[in-house]
Amino acid sequence: MSRTLLAVFLVFASSGVVLAQPYPARPLRMVVTVPPGGISDFTARILAPKLSEALGQPVVVDNKPGAGGNIASELVAKAARDGHTLLIVAPPTAINVTLYKSLPFDTRRDLAPVALVGSVPNVLVVAPTVRANTVSEFIDYGRRNPGKLNYASNSIGTSLHLSAELLKYYGRFYAVHIPYRGVPAAQAALIAGEVDFMFDSLSTVLPQVRAGRSRALAVTSRERSAYLPGVPTMVESGFADFEVSGWTGLMATGGSPAAAIERLEGELKKILAQPEVIEAFEKPGMSVRFAGAREFAAFLDAEIARWSAAVKHSGATAD
């Protein structure tokens, strides 16, 4: 080290100024809003080891379920603003902005979009006893028999519940909501004929449809699913604005350095292009869907607006 450089170093050291370290400087924490199992946790388990390898630091998955995902979100929102605490997000992140009258954090200020990473459509399924083979037939029945239809969901305020509320709103018919404790219980009620219909994630409903225990009328993605090629989309069924899907993405603490966000975004783009990652996503019916930080931010704003309308139409509240 030259005398000049040594002198500069000593000046900074004696003044207490800490020189910026390259990112990441220590292990990363990837917080998940749900218990082990499910699409969000699955996404974390796929991405964490890949990110660890790319970044040269351990990436530890930490499940923090509760309060509709708000416990995990608040933890990340209030973490150090250095890009070392990450959050796997899904539709509840957008839904909760309206569903809860007040949150202990600001979703768009205190959380920083990094990348959208995957998506999976919802599917409108009916019980085997329902005599309707198309969405239009089903809605016609609902209009002619107000209050006779009921539907299941995995809880109040979830994307599955609110997808059904959007169908009621767009289709101009009434049906009774029966919330269950989780998707398996809701599926069991549908198969038993205790409820008439529900929206379910393609990844969990596919075995039931293939086995003939429920019947798929439409998928909610813009394009048909390769897993159910004979099932039309809601758009094809006459609902131009009905496009809702499950999705997963990665966010960091708001105010994290731009260099950290850019590094994460770049590494995720490369990871999601790897054939083994694409194959892993496809096993449960998901699709890789990469969008960088700026595009993901715009996507998130659109999701917040979309689900805000659904929450208002349903009258649902979590407070």
pLDDT of residue 147: 85
Does 285 lie in the same domain as 309? yes
Does 115 lie in the same domain as 52? yes
Q: Which of 184, 203, 219 finishes a domain?
A: 219
**273: CATH:** 3.40.190.150
Does 251 lie in the same domain as 105? yes
Does 141 lie in the same domain as 63? no
Does 178 lie in the same domain as 109? no
**160: CATH:** 3.40.190.10
Q: Which of 204, 219, 234 finishes a domain?
A: 219
Q: Residue 87 sits in which domain range?
A: 26-119+246-314
Query: Mind listing the pLDDT tens digit of every residue in the chain (319 residues)?
Result: 445 444 444 444 443 334 457 899 999 999 999 888 888 999 999 999 999 999 999 999 999 998 889 999 999 999 999 999 999 999 999 999 999 989 999 999 999 999 999 999 999 999 999 999 999 999 999 999 988 999 999 888 889 999 999 999 999 999 999 999 888 999 999 999 999 999 999 988 999 999 999 999 999 998 899 899 999 999 999 998 888 888 999 999 999 999 999 999 999 999 999 999 999 999 888 899 999 999 999 999 999 998 998 898 888 887 6
Distances (CA, A) of 88 to 21, 57, 115, 297: 25, 18, 10, 14
Contact (Cβ atoms closer than 8 angstroms) between residue 316 and residue 99: yes
Residue 225 lies in a domain: no
Does 257 lie in the same domain as 114? yes
Residue 12 lies in a domain: no
d(CA 185, CA 149): 18
Does 84 lie in the same domain as 38? yes
Q: Which of 219, 237, 262 finishes a domain?
A: 219
Does 256 lie in the same domain as 189? no
DSSP class of 62 = E
The size of the chain, in residues, is 319
Strands (E), the chain: 28-32, 59-63, 85-89, 111-126, 150-153, 176-179, 197-201, 215-219, 245-253, 287-291
Task: Name the 3-class secondary structure at 111.
Answer: strand
Residue 110 lies in a domain: yes
| SS3 assignment for 11-32 | HHHHHCCCCCCCCCCCCEEEEE
Contact (Cβ atoms closer than 8 angstroms) between residue 79 and residue 282: no
DSSP class of 196 = S
